[in-house]
Amino acid sequence: MQSLKEQLAALYRADPDVVSVVAVENPNQLPSLTDGFDLLLLLVTRSRERANHLHHYIKEQVHIQEKRIPLAELEASLLGDSRSLIQWLLKGEIVLDREGRLEELRNKVLEFPAELREHKLLLEFCRFLRMYLQSKEYLLAEHLLDAYNNILEALQCWARIVIIEEGHHPEIAVWRQIRYMNPGVYKLYEELTTSKETVKQRVQLVLLACEFSVMSKMERCCGPLLAILEGREEPWSAAELRQHPALADIQGELPLLLGKLVKKSLIREVAVASESELLDLELRYTK
């Protein structure tokens, strides 16, 4: 396998558009890591000309999957929620790295700096809030299986929040990771999935735990948003916040999150004269 990787690296070295290559082996036949292929090759490119190009082939009886991703997109994805990309970067072998950019990214992921942790906490809390509130709504409407599915998603977000707070990247197999890190959260997962109580009772139990434990983390998890609101004297409009580059990953969740922060008195809602003739007052937000 090593000689094959060296051959492929030599081929990619002849392509000036390929900046770096990560080779991820699958020796234990774990399909979740390499999508079932013997070898996954992640090609980092300068241009977007063949962005996200996918190529499957066989070489020396090895089934290979080749994926291309522009460098800028890779950097943005690592800030977001691409756990697969993080796993490939951490577990794969860098076989080509012309400018050392991939090694820099790997070191950044390994160090998990505070800025990256804060960003990921905000992402997970937004997902948690959406799933948690939807579960409550479904429960009230007696849509029990939908309520169960959403609270399970919310509980997974809670587990990832705990892992991030501990300074680790959430893995794909999050429950294996959380089992010994936080037995309390894992116990809730067991109660939800294996308890002999009714589905409704199990959902109610986890909703109650979420209300007391995770909702209390709102100020902590929303640090990047609160810092932006506090960063200037005049209040921000919803449109301005949606356009802020640091909030690009949560654009769709901002209205819900802002409303919840107002209700918890963590931010203030201010009515100002609107520039539009169609509106009398515009709602803006400030710390």
CA–CA distance, 109 with 169 (Å, rounded to integer): 8
Instruction: Indicate the Cα dihedral angle 77, 168, 127, 31, nearest 10°.
Output: 70
Note whether 211 and 266 are same-domain residues: no
Note whether 55 and 76 are same-domain residues: yes
Q: What is the CATH number of the domain that holds 212?
A: 1.20.120.330
Note whether 135 and 209 are same-domain residues: yes
What's the average model confidence in pLDDT over 194-215? 93
Note whether 106 and 10 are same-domain residues: yes
Identify the pLDDT of residue 132. 96
Identify the pLDDT of residue 48. 81
Phi, psi of 175 (to 5 degrees): -75, -30
Asked whether the predicted pLDDT for residue 30 surpasses 70, the reply is: no
Note whether 191 and 251 are same-domain residues: no
Identify the pLDDT of residue 73. 86
Note whether 64 and 87 are same-domain residues: yes
Asked whether the predicted pLDDT for residue 207 surpasses 70, the reply is: yes
- Under the banding of pLDDT at 50, 70 and 90, the label for residue 113 is confident
Whole-number average pLDDT of the chain:
90
Asked whether the predicted pLDDT for residue 31 surpasses 70, the reply is: no
Angle between helices 199-213 and 114-140 (to 10 degrees): 140
Note whether 28 and 85 are same-domain residues: yes
Structural domain harbouring 79: 2-111
Asked whether the predicted pLDDT for residue 52 surpasses 90, the reply is: no
Note whether 10 and 74 are same-domain residues: yes
- Under the banding of pLDDT at 50, 70 and 90, the label for residue 43 is very high
Q: Is 184 exposed, middle or buried (0-12, 13-18, 19+ CB in 10 A)?
A: exposed
Asked whether the predicted pLDDT for residue 192 surpasses 90, the reply is: yes
Note whether 198 and 134 are same-domain residues: yes
Among 47, 77, 111, which residue terminates a domain? 111
Asked whether the predicted pLDDT for residue 29 surpasses 70, the reply is: no
pLDDT in tens, 132-171: 999 999 999 999 999 999 999 999 999 999 999 999 888 8
- Under the banding of pLDDT at 50, 70 and 90, the label for residue 282 is confident
Among 61, 87, 111, which residue terminates a domain? 111
Among 160, 182, 217, which residue terminates a domain? 217
Q: What is the CATH number of the domain that holds 277?
A: 1.10.10
Q: What is the CATH number of the domain that holds 102?
A: 3.30.460.10
The tally of domains found in the chain comes to 3
CA–CA distance, 212 with 48 (Å, rounded to integer): 46
